[in-house]
Amino acid sequence: MALHDSLMEKGIQEGSGLCCIHTQLAFYGDDAKRSGYLKAGMRLGHPSCIMKIAELAENGEWPEELSPYDIGELWLRAARYSPDDEEALRGLRHVSDPAFLLRHKEELQKYWKPQWEKLLTVKDEEDGRYDAYV
């Protein structure tokens, strides 16, 4: 096992989800290692790992087949762990599986819909003063 592997393994054993996301980047191209580290990060509750699995599954690049319902559950889990993360909110907002939407209807309406509206409102209110060309 290379030094990089052993350091990452130690970080994961100590509960660092951040090690999982960095390690999966280091093993880009080695799907078995990458998916293993992402799964470890998901078990540790690291939202970046959960979102990456959801993205890969949506694009058909995850080694295991996940249903649209399961992908929706991943986006919801990521949003719950990191409710201010715009990527998690966007991913959750685009879930369209009817079974998922029915099961989580109350939570989506009560909590996540206002978050989506806030996200859209902030984007609409940008006046350009921070644009690079100004």
**Residues 23, 10 contacting (CB under 8 angstroms):** no
The pLDDT value given to residue 118: 85
Question: What pLDDT shows up at residue 51?
Answer: 92
Q: What domains are there in the chain, each with its CATH number?
A: 3-125 (1.25.40)
What's the Cα-to-Cα distance from 29 to each of 20, 59, 106, 122, rounded to whole Å?
15, 16, 40, 37
Q: What is the pTM of this model?
A: 0.73
Average pLDDT per block of 10 residues along the chain, 134 residues long: 50 51 52 76 85 93 93 96 92 96 96 88 58 55
Q: How far apart are CA 4 and CA 99, in angstroms?
A: 42
pLDDT of residue 3: 38
CA distance 91 to 2: 35
- Alpha-carbon span 1 to 7, nearest angstrom: 10
pLDDT of residue 123: 56
Q: What is the pLDDT of residue 1?
A: 42
Residue 54: Cβ within 10 Å count? 27
